Structure 1
Amino acid sequence: MTIVLAASALGVPVAAAPRGAGRYPVNVPAGPLDRALSMLAGQTASDIGSAEPDLGRTVVIGVRGRLTGVAALGRLLRDTPFAAQDLGGGVYRVIRRPRSRANPARVEPRPASPPAPIEPPASPPPEIVVTASKRTVSLLRFPGAITVLRSGSGLRLGDTAGDTMERALAATPILQGTALGAGRNKLFIRGVADSSFTGPTQATTNVYFGEVPVAYNGPDPGLSLYDMDRIEVLEGPQGALYGAGAIGGIIRLVPHPVDLDTVAADVSGGVSATRGGAAGGDIAAMVNLPLSGGAAGLRAVAYRSREGGYIADVRRALRNVNTTITSGGRADLRVRPASGWTMDAGVVLQSVASADLQYAERGAPPLSRASLLAQPFDQRYALGRLIVAKAWDDGLRLVSATGVVHRDASGRFDATRRARPTQPIAYDTTERSRLLSHETRLSRTRGDGVGWMVGVSLIQARDVYGRMYGPPDRLREIVGVSNRTIDAAVFGEAGMAPLPQLTVTLGGRLTHQRSDGEPTAGSRANAFIRGRSVTRIDPTIAASWALQPDLAAYARFHSGFRTGGITVAPGVGRVADLRPDTIRVVEVGIRKERRGSTGVAGSAGVSIADWRHVQADLVDRSGFPFTTNLGNARIHGLEAEVNWVPVRSLRGDLSLFLNDARALEPDAAVSRNSRVRLPNTPPFAMAASVAYTLPIAGNREIGVRAGWRYVGQSTIGTRAPFDVAQGGYGVSQLGGEWREGRVRLTATIDNVFDVTGDRFAGGNPFAQAMRDEYTPLQPRTVRIGGAVRW
């Protein structure tokens, strides 16, 4: 989603009071030209007017950087049929260029007798454009629930190497996740959660890096959010747009794009201290370099963070065993080969090394446990992507995206039997994932949702899940699984307006999927699972009704599914055929935009989800993980958020989520009772924050912020011995910032009151049956940091 200011295409100028011709931080994303001009006017303190009637039908690719108003306007109008006249005093008029002129736009010289500028009205309201929907639809008229997180207004996101999805989870109760550790966590949206355990199944939430998926099966790889522009959370099943796996929703990580005209750099670092734990720290850097006179550019990012441990192992006489080190980087090359065309090629590399798990045991000293073996985890992750896009003057847009993912991970659990505590037993897992994805789509859409989009996609995935068991020096291979999936789909969506206030959207996806699997150990002839082919249609039907200029209601029906295939069954040496699970959701809601720089904005919605043949990763009483279909479930949800800006320097946010998630026809693996709550789905969660910014002398400012979130109580499972309560805690954060020009100094305190809650995590599955495990919140942690930007 991108933020732009609404503008008139019929001669009403959009303006902000001129304040000179200095450089300004400009961030105008792709979208209709009229809204882009409005946003640029506000960001550069310029007056920009036009009498051209079709600015709203021209789509621009956006502009970012620290630029003067005239330079930013020239870049924004590049490759469009419009140019700008400089009328003096920061006032510009956008006019249509004669067809005989050269294509590149430029700011025309000031005329000898400039016409008198029109007195501008008050600045129009901010409008939000949803791009995760694959069509440029304004948020007000988007017929569904969506959450956007970006740095600013009290939320620090993407500023440091240590920022991960944990920061996003703390910002909104719509997002939930487990806490097994970086590279092993599962993410959930709006209560569509299967279990706290991690296995080889598709996640209920798909994560995308820009236009390409970061994984097909398995957990979230835990990418650092440093230099990330925003996170878009598209709620509810997205089978029609994104295909298999997105039954809970989509999380889209959107990095800052390459700036083709501005040299920029940023260095960030900090140190942290955790009460009773080891010290931590982080460092990161970004550089943006234009190449070939603005026809190409390179943006590179590097980072490293050390999260200090705080768990002690009393048996091995070790402290702070759960230290985690994450290091990686990204590089993106953007080329503009011709008018309207852009090509983006990039790579993401990251490694995660965790020395041990972060669970503790009740009965032991606080934040400690007793284990015979270290339980480390290592992950190596690589993603390559190529995006080719073309934007025509009439609003037609082509996007072709290809991604390649390699992920290799290994971990160990201490499977020592407590009846024989001196004989160590290890359980090792290896995960190898390969993914090739491609999508091409063509679209033309207005901001109110009227328009169309068609596309094709192809996914080829291979996932191997291997297991070893026994004494550490005599490990033997036990049965694992290897799955291969080919997924081909055709999808489309169309929006129409039978009434001026009403937009109706119809769409769907035709998917043909083939999955083949086999065990990685044992006799293939006896245990081979025949391949499965599935052809299905996932429809979506939605409507948006504009009640007032700043208020709209929406309704939506959508569906999704996860693939089946071979999986590990309960016990040792067994496999089973996992059935696909499906979900259908009906939701209605209302959304209000803020009119101007102050006021109230918010949304509220209710949803009902019907989830069939729920897939879940579980463990048996002996501790061995397995995957099964749990049965059917129904989830009722209520969500609401409000944002209040009483004055420009003060902002408050409040959001909450209530849900009732019940297994209607549970399998024996869940419970023998009917209508039990699904595990890992707290019935209530909320988040609140307040931020205040105080300008002081010169270009200095001081900012303070405070936040609090509450996570309701749920269980790791619903059948003994796994019906252990988790959650039921509230945790707070404080932060401060001092900024002068390019320099920023920060201080944060996480878990201010040192709350000792139990997070949603499985810990060591071989000790779960003892019911004495818990995964504690990180104790009070203080971080002091700074950043310099050029």
Structure 2
Amino acid sequence: MANEGWIMKRNICAALLATISAFAVTPALAQTAGEGGDIVVTALKRETRVQDTPLAITAMSGNTLNNMGAAGIADVARSVPSLNLLASESGRTRVSIRGIQTAGEATVGVYFGEVPLTGPAGTTSDPSGSTPNLNLFDTERLEVLRGPQGTLYGSGSMGGTLRVLFKQANLKDYEGTAEASLETVKSGGTGYSVKGAVNVPIVKDMLAARLAVYRQRTGGFVDDPSIGRYNMNNTVTTGGRLMLGFRPTNNLRINFMGILQDQHTGGTSLWAPSVGLFTSGLRIFTPAIDKQKIFSLDTKWNTPIGTLSLANGYYRWDVRQTNDNTDNYTSVANSYRYCGLFQNTYAGSMLQSGAAGTTTSSSTCASSAGGYSSAQLRANYLDWAKAQMPIGNYQPRWVENLTNELRLSSDGKGRLNYTLGAFFENRKDRVDTTVFAGVAGTGEMRTPVVDLGSRFVRDVINQTAQFGEITYRPIDILSVTAGLRHYHYKKIVGGAYLGYNYFNGQTPMAYTEVNASADGFNQKYNIELKPTRDLMIYATASQGFRPGGANLTPGIPDSAKQYKADSLWNYELGLKTQWFDRKLTFNVDAYRIDWTNMQTSVTATYGNFSYISNVGSARIEGVEAELSGTPTKGLFLNGSLSVVYPRLTADQINSEVTAAGRVGHILTGIPRTTASAGAEYGWAINSDWKGMARADFTYTGKMTTQLNPTNALYRTYGKYAQVNLRAGIENERYGVYLYVRNLLDTNAVSYYSAVSGVADYISTTAPRTIGVNLRGNF
């Protein structure tokens, strides 16, 4: 492993030198500056240019998102260094930055406006498994802050923060935009979108409203002939967004945001290579519904001592999902693991002895009971199990969250600047699970319902925090920043098991609660040296954490019912530069992360249940680079590179758990290398019309499914490239564009599920998709 570490470090250095060399030969630049470094962001809770912000940040304007054809976060993920979305099924994705990725609370703070969104926890206390997928139509900009942002953004931002800022209401001018598109997926279905936005000043310079509405359908390409479903992983998203802006005085502005979005996914996106290309062997119909309601009120008052901000947010996120348990439960039934439980309860009254509840001497029915032989007991159990097939589970779940943040921020112009604030969060969620027998041939739930083991789990978490960052500039070229955040949280997990499940060992349990709480501090230190307007060197040591919690899981010892917060330290050195009168921007950073007390999903000794435990530690080292510029008039180029080396530094062993990971094992689901390159060219056709063409290339490196390479379920995937093209003609009011996604028709594996006794399932990017897009402004 030491040798591998040396090789990895050598590769990081080689990649960095190659990137710098490639950028160094960029020709003399023309008139139009690349927008990336000049975008004004609010990552520090006040306005700064990207190049004046001493942290690793990527910003994309709404114009760039439009030209890329980006409808959601997944469409831009590979264009941002170290940003990774691990897609599973039915639209569920896990977002991570810099390889900080395990089950548990979120590791990336995802903000829409001022509202942080966290997914429902589910039965496994894993809210990070769901990332909100709001449509990016009518967006002002996207900001991705890499590295822990624990001081200003708190828990959930231990890997970084992703912020989507939608266009605010314009108090002065009437505006409107509309667009429509139609596309077809190779070997799949068709898709379309219709979107529109209008801005109306109600009282000029004082009150305005902006309304955006959209409906989008993506074509599916996964079939499941066993239940008569084709192109079933299509997704229909319908939503609306209302922005209100009110400025009663020059010093006071109040912005309201309201978002409603419904997303319906027709079925799983997972398919089994052993069954056929884009063909699923599932026997349960697996639709999913995702509904979100988000409301926020953002008040800003400019005072002589800084801007006083009050951000109030509320959201409700409902998910209804059905999963197929058939293959997994068939494997368990064939092992007879819960045969004894079945005989002791369900089948006890049917034994010839007539003694209800007659027990066997083994959970696997390995010996006789009630006059029956082991073979007869097993056959009895297996016949019953086969009669329930196919089997699915239906999980309606929801999360409701109320957040409030009050802060005071200086204007950034003096030698002393600060951001001080307080934060409060009250989050509640619940999941109900019904394991049911399905109908062969359709995969739908039987009527009346055959309940094979129901349960519910509810969570309540309260968090409070007080935070501050102070920056002092003793001389013009040097700034020093120190930040501190004190947090307190209390989490209550309660639930009940409403019956027996003879496939996973569940037994009835009355409503029970388990509590967890903690206090702690997050720190941040930063030194920024800016000798010229176009050169910045910064060094950062920052801390991140996420709350611990409680497990409500059968078969675990009392000592495993609570798990602690995990935390990390990030050490980072960055360089930001601009050249040729700011026409070329090149930024690079290198970092090391030490992650301790890792929250990890493990399996209970008894039962087929997962729960969270603090086990192992990790070190993640990497380098990130970004380039943007204009080598000739009308041509804009951009590129990015990320190389990461994430490995365990301690065995995954504690007093309750012996998991698979050992020192040196590489963390799972994280591409070791990602890269992107984009080129956009615009030219005049005549006095009214101009042409545009854009190409985007992305590369995703190797990923693995297991920590231990000797594990029978160890798989490698990734290592693919994709190319997207877009071209059209446009003027100030109209535009017509043709586009191709996945030009090379790459069958790229983005998620891999390998489970013992079950066929491997994968999720892949969509095949080549060709479409046309029309836009109009008024």
Q: Which runs of 5+ in 1 are unaligned?
A: 1-41, 44-121, 196-200
More helix by share: 2
Which residue of the other structure, out of 475, 483, 498, is the alignment partner of 2:474? 498
2:450 matches 1:461: no
Which residue of the other structure, out of 469, 475, 492, is the alignment partner of 2:451? 475
2:771 matches 1:783: yes
Is the partner of 2:530 in helix, strand or coil?
strand
2:564 matches 1:603: no
Tell me, yes or no, if the aligned pair for 1:443 and 1:452 is still in contact at 8 Å: yes
2:535 matches 1:551: yes
Query: How many angstroms apart in 1 are the aligned matches of 2:236 and 2:213?
Result: 14
2:687 matches 1:698: yes
Query: How many angstroms apart in 2 are the aligned matches of 1:338 and 1:547?
Result: 39
Which residue of the other structure, out of 465, 482, 489, is the alignment partner of 1:513? 489
- When normalised by structure 2's length, the TM-score is 0.80
Query: How many angstroms apart in 2 are the aligned matches of 1:722 and 1:641?
Result: 36
Change in 2 beyond 3 A, CA 1:158/1:382: farther
Is the partner of 1:315 in helix, strand or coil?
helix
Root-mean-square deviation over aligned CA pairs: 2.9
Give the match for residue 757 of structure 1: 748
Equivalence map 1:60-79=2 (5 Å): none
Instruction: Kindly indicate whether structure 1 or structure 2 has the higher relative contact order, using CA contacts under 8 Å at least 6 residues apart.
Output: 2
Change in 2 beyond 3 A, CA 1:570/1:684: farther
Which residue of the other structure, out of 247, 252, 260, is the alignment partner of 1:341? 252
Give the match for residue 484 of structure 1: 460
2:115 matches 1:212: yes
Equivalence map 1:190-589=2 (5 Å): 190-194=98-102, 201-215=104-118, 218=127, 219-392=130-303, 396-417=306-327, 418=330, 423-446=389-412, 450-471=416-437, 472=445, 473-521=449-497, 528-567=512-551, 569=553, 576-589=561-574
Q: Which runs of 5+ in 2 are unaligned?
A: 1-30, 121-126, 332-384, 438-444, 499-506
Deviation at 1:747, TM superposition (A): 1.4
Query: How many angstroms apart in 2 are the aligned matches of 1:141 and 1:740?
Result: 33
Tell me, yes or no, if the aligned pair for 1:157 and 1:167 is still in contact at 8 Å: no
Aligned residues: 658
Query: How many angstroms apart in 1 are the aligned matches of 2:36 and 2:395?
Result: 53
Tell me, yes or no, if the aligned pair for 2:90 and 2:268 is still in contact at 8 Å: no
Query: How many angstroms apart in 1 are the aligned matches of 2:305 and 2:632?
Result: 37
Query: How many angstroms apart in 2 are the aligned matches of 1:784 and 1:370?
Result: 34
Q: Amino acid of the residue matched to residue 775 of structure 1?
A: S
Deviation at 1:658, TM superposition (A): 0.6
Please list the CA deviations of residues 16-66 of structure 1 after superposition, one character each: whole Å capped at 9, or x if unmatched: xxxxxxxxxxxxxxxxxxxxxxxxxx99xxxxxxxxxxxxxxxxxxxxxxx
Change in 2 beyond 3 A, CA 1:671/1:547: farther
Is the partner of 2:78 in helix, strand or coil?
helix
Tell me, yes or no, if the aligned pair for 1:182 and 1:222 is still in contact at 8 Å: no
Deviation at 1:125, TM superposition (A): 12
Please list the CA deviations of residues 489-544 of structure 1 after superposition, one character each: whole Å capped at 9, or x if unmatched: 11111111122211001111111211122224369998845422211111110011
Which residue of the other structure, out of 661, 671, 676, is the alignment partner of 2:660? 671
2:172 matches 1:187: no
Change in 2 beyond 3 A, CA 1:431/1:355: same
Deviation at 1:594, TM superposition (A): 4.3
Is the partner of 1:360 in helix, strand or coil?
coil
Q: Amino acid of the residue matched to residue 676 of structure 1?
A: H
Is the partner of 2:248 in helix, strand or coil?
coil
- When normalised by structure 1's length, the TM-score is 0.78
Tell me, yes or no, if the aligned pair for 1:127 and 1:593 is still in contact at 8 Å: no
Change in 2 beyond 3 A, CA 1:548/1:125: farther
Deviation at 1:775, TM superposition (A): 1.0
Give the match for residue 762 of structure 2: 774
Is the partner of 2:326 in helix, strand or coil?
coil
Which residue of the other structure, out of 685, 701, 705, is the alignment partner of 1:712? 701
Which residue of the other structure, out of 141, 160, 169, is the alignment partner of 2:77? 169
Q: Amino acid of the residue matched to residue 566 of structure 1?
A: A
Give the match for residue 90 of structure 1: none
Query: How many angstroms apart in 1 are the aligned matches of 2:117 and 2:265?
Result: 21
Identify the range of structure 1 (227-236 vs 132-141) with the bigger mean alpha-carbon deviation.
Answer: 132-141
2:633 matches 1:648: yes
Query: How many angstroms apart in 2 are the aligned matches of 1:538 and 1:746?
Result: 48
Is the partner of 1:593 in helix, strand or coil?
strand
Please list the CA deviations of residues 165-210 of structure 1 after superposition, one character each: whole Å capped at 9, or x if unmatched: 1112132232110122565211111221226xxxxx3221111111
Tell me, yes or no, if the aligned pair for 1:466 and 1:479 is still in contact at 8 Å: yes
Deviation at 1:396, TM superposition (A): 1.9
Change in 2 beyond 3 A, CA 1:221/1:572: farther
Change in 2 beyond 3 A, CA 1:521/1:226: same
Deviation at 1:722, TM superposition (A): 4.0
Give the match for residue 688 of structure 1: 677
Please list the CA deviations of residues 348-375 of structure 1 after superposition, one character each: whole Å capped at 9, or x if unmatched: 1111111111011122221112121111
Tell me, yes or no, if the aligned pair for 1:748 and 1:784 is still in contact at 8 Å: yes
